Structure 1
Amino acid sequence: MAKVLEVRDLHVSFKTYNGEVQAVRGVSFDVNKGETVAVVGESGCGKSVTSQTIMRLLPSPPSMIKSGEIMFDGKDLTKLDEKQLEKIRGAEIAMIFQDPMTSLNPTMTVGGQITEGLMKHQKMSKEEAKKKAIEMLRLVGIPSPESRISQYPHQFSGGMRQRAMIAIALSCAPKLLIADEPTTALDVTIQAQIIDLMKELQEKVGTSIILITHDLGVVADIADRVVVMYAGKVVESGSLDEVFYQPKHPYTWGLLASMPRLDQSSDQDLQPIPGSPPNLLNPPKGCPFAARCKYAMKICTQEMPETSDVSSTHRVACWLQHPMAPKVEPPAMAVGGE
């Protein structure tokens, strides 16, 4: 399958008064044409920093791309200047941000924000862009798009603003769509509609999607592959079935055990992961999850585990995969139900 994006050994840090925060530490993953890759993990694990680095949206300073490659369409995005990036952003790679109220321009009509990209990247006339904008609003399910196109973001509800963001992002039919927590702060009914909409548009347009989220329910509904991040590193990656039904990393077990399930009895409590993520000003030299892991061995605190192949598509960075490690089965709560 053709690869749309290849992230290779990406390291991103932030300069602060207290020192260097190593936010992303050697992240690697691919996105194939027409597939959805979910990047999951707790807040602060490096998901959003990774996605914003792909778009080159982080201000520098304080952010720094220390090393690594982000290959897109034969070009390394880390090497491009601002003028070259402007031709790619919006046209070939688009992003749906976490909070549409702060991402949409409050001084511009919603229609104006859609037509701006169409006129710039597609070289459409004002009239052509307006017709396309109405078509996009209709496509994302906004009623009466002919009148809504002249309204401002504050005149839209939360769900409609998120739909408008999707319309803006997809208006130029990008090859890659990055959705950063696209359903946060929306009620469950609207969440389901947004996910269904993204799946429907993906089928129509053929766009590849990177979904940044901590909601494993959303992941189960839309993702083809899953990348699990912790403390700026990828600790496990594989197909949806591999990560949900054959998870190998104790952190993945913890995430799955903390997710409510339909087959769970009412007297069963959710199992939170004890402790807190490490301070990335001074990350541990061994496995970053060792301090919170009840299966941790001496080696876990001393050396970073190598990433090993469980299958051709399933990879995990954990000392439990070593031939000399004790055999440990995941808790029942940490394996997805049928």
Structure 2
Amino acid sequence: MEKNNVLEVNDLHVSFKTYNGEVQAVRGVSFEVKKGETVAIVGESGCGKSVTSQSIMRLIPQPPGFFKKGKILFEEKDLTRLTENQMERIRGKDIAMIFQDPMTSLNPTMTVGRQIMEGLVKHQRLGKAEAKKRALDMLHLVGIPSPRSRINQYPHQFSGGMRQRAMIAIALACAPKLLIADEPTTALDVTIQAQILDLMNDLKEKLETSIILITHDLGVVAETADRVVVMYAGKVVETGTVEEIFNHPRHPYTWGLMGSMPRLDLSRDKDLAPILGTPPNLLSPPKGCPFAGRCKHAMKICKEEMPETTDASGSHQVACWLEHPMAPAVQAPYKLVGGGFQ
């Protein structure tokens, strides 16, 4: 494990046993997160983003889920091999998570202040008075107005944006080394979304916390991330810096994601360019490239063999047969120009 890496995921395979067979949700995912870095994992629903993040936290119920292969290295410890008691000492203290829906993730029977204090008492052995003082500091840090009165309120008394801020306060209370944010701005209006993203960027700089951002919104990625991991059908198809992915995307699936983004500079009668077709069934995933069935550039070999990952640059990797020297030259249809894709 490289010294500068906080986390390394190596060839991770996660499956679920069902009555119909084995669902291969994550199939050979590899990436790393450096100290103080934000890595965005993007892709459409069902591509394996949330399963990957929950695997890092060891929140996959076993059974039906199980780790089939691979390693998740955090501070040179393989998280897949730790006992639940060992994970309890890491979860919330060194690795924390902001879940998709704060209304269902927060405990409705406990005050927000008590939920923040819980981790401080458990992991940092603080007394009740000191934990409450820290909880007030966290509410103030995440921008909750009137924290002294809000600390004794319940989640239903908070607005959607305030609940999301409370979730961030709970996750950051113990100053974790790694924060996993799973769709942190879903269902929030654009004003609150911008505030949450600014807050996460500020906290990353103040606390030097590394962040894994799970999202399908490329606008959020452009605003916050340093590097991007593009997932499709349980596999990583492209990875690179934000500049490389946005300005020089190389995988047809990445092109499709960019083409389906709404743009303010297009006329109203101009339709979006959706990715036609549906993702493959992961009960019996294809032996070749998983995107071949929806790719207009697919060749015969795409359906027969999975492409190897090749280096487009030192930090930009692509798993696509179009990268082969014998493949026909195909020009990327989209690139970032003046804040929009052209």
TM above 0.5, one fold?
Answer: yes
Following superposition of structure 1 onto structure 2, how do residues 242-281 of structure 1 map, counting pairs within 5 Å?
A: 242-281=244-283
TM-superposition CA deviations, 1:59-101 (whole Å, max 9, x none): 1000010010000011000010000000000000000000001
Following superposition of structure 1 onto structure 2, how do residues 307-326 of structure 1 map, counting pairs within 5 Å?
A: 307-326=309-328
CA shift, 1:261, in A, is 2.8
CA shift, 1:109, in A, is 0.5
- Partner Cα separation in structure 1 for residue 286 and residue 76 of structure 2: 35
- Partner Cα separation in structure 2 for residue 145 and residue 155 of structure 1: 13
CA shift, 1:264, in A, is 3.2
- Partner Cα separation in structure 2 for residue 169 and residue 315 of structure 1: 32
Q: Please, which runs of 5 or more residues in structure 1 have no aligned partner?
A: none
CA shift, 1:262, in A, is 4.0
CA shift, 1:330, in A, is 1.2
* 1:296 aligned counterpart, secondary structure: coil
TM-superposition CA deviations, 1:290-323 (whole Å, max 9, x none): 0000000000000000000000000000000000
Following superposition of structure 1 onto structure 2, how do residues 199-214 of structure 1 map, counting pairs within 5 Å?
A: 199-214=201-216
Counterpart pick for 1:122 among 112, 116, 124: 124
Maintained 8 Å contact 1:256/1:336: no
Matched, 1:98 2:100: yes
- Partner Cα separation in structure 2 for residue 128 and residue 159 of structure 1: 27
TM-score (norm 2): 0.97
Match of 1:23 in 2: 25
Match of 1:157 in 2: 159
- Partner Cα separation in structure 1 for residue 82 and residue 133 of structure 2: 33
* 1:150 aligned counterpart, secondary structure: coil
- Partner Cα separation in structure 2 for residue 291 and residue 119 of structure 1: 52
CA shift, 1:260, in A, is 2.0
Match of 2:242 in 1: 240
Q: Please, which runs of 5 or more residues in structure 2 have no aligned partner?
A: none
CA shift, 1:115, in A, is 0.5
Following superposition of structure 1 onto structure 2, how do residues 46-61 of structure 1 map, counting pairs within 5 Å?
A: 46-61=48-63
* 2:185 aligned counterpart, secondary structure: coil
Counterpart pick for 1:282 among 281, 284, 291: 284
Matched, 1:89 2:127: no
Following superposition of structure 1 onto structure 2, how do residues 134-145 of structure 1 map, counting pairs within 5 Å?
A: 134-145=136-147
CA shift, 1:270, in A, is 1.3
- Partner Cα separation in structure 2 for residue 125 and residue 302 of structure 1: 61
CA RMSD of aligned residues (A): 0.8
Match of 1:335 in 2: 335
The one-letter amino acid of 1:65's match is F
* 1:38 aligned counterpart, secondary structure: strand
- Partner Cα separation in structure 2 for residue 76 and residue 60 of structure 1: 17
Identity %: 76
- Partner Cα separation in structure 1 for residue 264 and residue 127 of structure 2: 52
CA shift, 1:266, in A, is 3.9
